[in-house]
Structure 1
Amino acid sequence: KRLVPLPPEILGVLGHYLRLERPLTNAPALFVSLKGRRRGQPMSAAGLRSLFRHHRMRSRISNANPHRLRHTFGADMVRAGMSLPALQRLMGHSQIQTTMLYVELAPQDVWREYACAIEKRKALDSSHLS
């Protein structure tokens, strides 16, 4: 088991889910089946796939799935400045190489990093000349 930090806006959405949508149950799982004979029981992997399939069809976003969301999260965290070791711990990876597979930087990300490094280098060079 792992603790995962959640931003305040997500806590509000989860509170709404717990108050209004989630059936009353003693199940320790946050996400449970909402209908059928498994109502109130922890959601299975098949149930999660079914939920994603339903919302993919409704939204017409054909490539959305939990794994793709993890990849997007990893890349977004690196773009926002999170270090790879911190991201590794957050994502629960035992090997940094696994984390690297999640970090798909777009060409514009590489160019932005390059431009930033060049500016820092210029600043360092000018400070050495003074």
Structure 2
Amino acid sequence: SAGLRVRELINLRIEDIDSDRMLIHIRQTKYNKDRYVPLSATVLVGLRKYYRAYAPQQYLFNGRTPGRPMHSASIQGIMRDAVKKAGILKRATPHTLRHSYATHLLEMGVNIRQLMSLLGHSDIQSTMVYLHVTHWNQSKAFSPFDHLYGRSHETDKL
């Protein structure tokens, strides 16, 4: 729900979850640049249940070795099991979830610069890839001229 890279997910610490501002602080990014991404209320409920059940100490998702984060291979395995359990026949990886997150945001109207920031891309070209796979609804496009006069782009048909 936040478009994180696997490495960013496994390096999340308990203090990175800001439930007051509904943000996740992403540290140790691919380009060593911190960023914040929105925290879904639904995910927060799940994280609270997880916290009560597993009582993580340092990392949100602890590895087998105390004080170490979960290994990326464990995330891959969890994803593989979830895909199989859901009966999904297409190949799906954690990066597929990141890709879907980006595509859905573009389809919802998030601008490319905002998406670039949310994904932690350092180069706009990396983000532009998602424009090619986006299916935007042309019927929702409207003339800025109508907006100037406060008219809705929803009008009676001729």
Q: TM-score, normalised by structure 1?
A: 0.73
5+ residue gaps in structure 1?
none
**How is 1:67-78 mapped onto 2 (pairs within 5 angstroms)?**
67-78=95-106
Deviation at 1:120, TM superposition (A): 1.6
**Are residue 11 (structure 1) and residue 44 (structure 2) matched?**
yes
CA distance 1:8–1:64, shift in 2 (3 Å): same
Q: TM-score, normalised by structure 2?
A: 0.61
Cα contact 1:70–1:102 (8 A) shared by 2: no
Question: Identity across aligned pairs (percent)?
Answer: 30
Amino acid at match of 1:105: T
**Are residue 120 (structure 1) and residue 157 (structure 2) matched?**
no
Partner of 2:83: 56
Name the larger-Rg structure: 1
**Are residue 30 (structure 1) and residue 30 (structure 2) matched?**
no
- Number of matched pairs: 113
Cα contact 1:88–1:96 (8 A) shared by 2: yes
Amino acid at match of 2:119: M
Deviation at 1:122, TM superposition (A): 7.3
Amino acid at match of 1:73: Y
Amino acid at match of 1:30: L
5+ residue gaps in structure 2?
1-26, 28-34, 150-158
Partner of 1:83: 111
Instruction: Quote the Cα distance in structure 1 between the aligned partners of 2:101 and 2:143.
Output: 27
Q: Could you say which structure has the higher helix fraction?
A: 1
Q: Could you say which structure has the higher strand fraction?
A: 2
Partner of 1:102: 130
- Report Cα offsets for 1:103-128 as digits up to 9, x if no partner: 4213xx2xx23x344x426747x9xx
- Report Cα offsets for 1:8-53 as digits up to 9, x if no partner: 1111111111112x2x4433x21224xxxx1654111111111111
Cα contact 1:85–1:96 (8 A) shared by 2: yes
**Moved beyond 4 Å, runs of 4+:** none
